[in-house]
Amino acid sequence: MVVAASERLHVIQDEDSSKRRQILDGARKVFMDLGFDGASMGEIARAAQVSKGTLYVYFADKCALFEAILEQEALQHGQVVFNFDPVRDAETTLKDFGRAYIHLLCRPGGGSAIRTVMAIAERMPDVGRRYYARVLDKTINRLSDYLKTHVASGDLRIDDCDLAASQFMELCKASLFLPFVFQAAPAPSEERMTEVVDSATRMFLAAYQAK
């Protein structure tokens, strides 16, 4: 049977994508275990179960590999659906967003990219800036845009919605994220996340809800 060129190309692309994911999975484990400085292309090749030659076909160096992992992280953040429908009330929206946000940050392996970026940002500021812009700033902007609609409707009284969005996100992380990211505590339970996010929402609305 003759296989069409388009079908052969599709198979090659699938294999290429699978191999790339295999390499990134191995690299993520090495970066998590050894940090950026401790990781080597040899260690990554062993963890990914590929030859160093194959590794270099896909990535020029460990900087390119780490950037690709950060790109995946950004995509994961972008795929999380935060319901910022402007017709929803602020209390419900903030609570739902807060829980989803903390779930995203404190998921298994969720802190490894942030720890590594924090460790290298001073020496590689472009990496830190790109991570912040692709992951953190986008979420702040989405929440800020939602808050602006409720300021316009008179439900909230906020002078700086970007600042208020950042404040709410930090309130949701209080006592949860830092112990998790520094491995001082396991991922928080559902009950604890709900407790902290509910408290954050009450504090936020006490400051910004129109009286």
Q: What is the pLDDT of residues 104-126, one digit of tens each?
A: 889 877 777 787 888 888 888 98
Q: CATH code at 195?
A: 1.10.357.10
Q: Which two tokens stand for residue 142?
A: 């989405």
Q: CATH code at 9?
A: 1.10.10.60
**In this structure, are 44 and 79 located in the same domain?**
no
Give Cα 64 to chain centroid, integer Å.
Answer: 18
Residue 156: strand, helix, or coil: strand
| Domain-embedded: residue 85 | yes
**In this structure, are 76 and 39 located in the same domain?**
no
Q: Is the pTM of this model over 0.85?
A: no
**In this structure, are 81 and 47 located in the same domain?**
no
**Which H/E stretch holds residue 135?**
none
Q: Which two tokens stand for residue 128?
A: 């830190």
**In this structure, are 122 and 37 located in the same domain?**
no
**Which H/E stretch holds residue 49?**
none
Q: At what angle do helices 41-48 and 5-38 cross, to 10 degrees?
A: 130
**pLDDT value, residue 2:** 45
| Domain-embedded: residue 126 | yes
**Strand ranges in the chain using DSSP code E only, listed in sequence order:** none
**In this structure, are 112 and 155 located in the same domain?**
yes
How many distinct helices (H) and strands (E) make up the chain? 11, 0
Rounded Cα distance, 202 and 124, in Å: 39
**In this structure, are 79 and 159 located in the same domain?**
yes
**Which H/E stretch holds residue 85?**
none
Among 24, 40, 59, residue at a domain's last position = 59
**In this structure, are 188 and 86 located in the same domain?**
yes
Rounded Cα distance, 146 and 163, in Å: 13
Domain holding 166, by residue range, is 70-208
| Domain-embedded: residue 65 | no
**In this structure, are 135 and 191 located in the same domain?**
yes
**In this structure, are 75 and 150 located in the same domain?**
yes
**In this structure, are 121 and 193 located in the same domain?**
yes
| Domain-embedded: residue 81 | yes
Total structural domains within the chain: 2
Q: Encode pLDDT of 149-167 as tens digits.
A: 999 999 999 999 999 999 9
**In this structure, are 80 and 149 located in the same domain?**
yes
To 10 degrees, the CA torsion angle through 125, 28, 77, 127? 10
Rounded Cα distance, 189 and 197, in Å: 12
Q: Encode pLDDT of 57-102 as tens digits.
A: 999 998 888 888 888 877 776 666 689 999 999 999 999 999 999 9
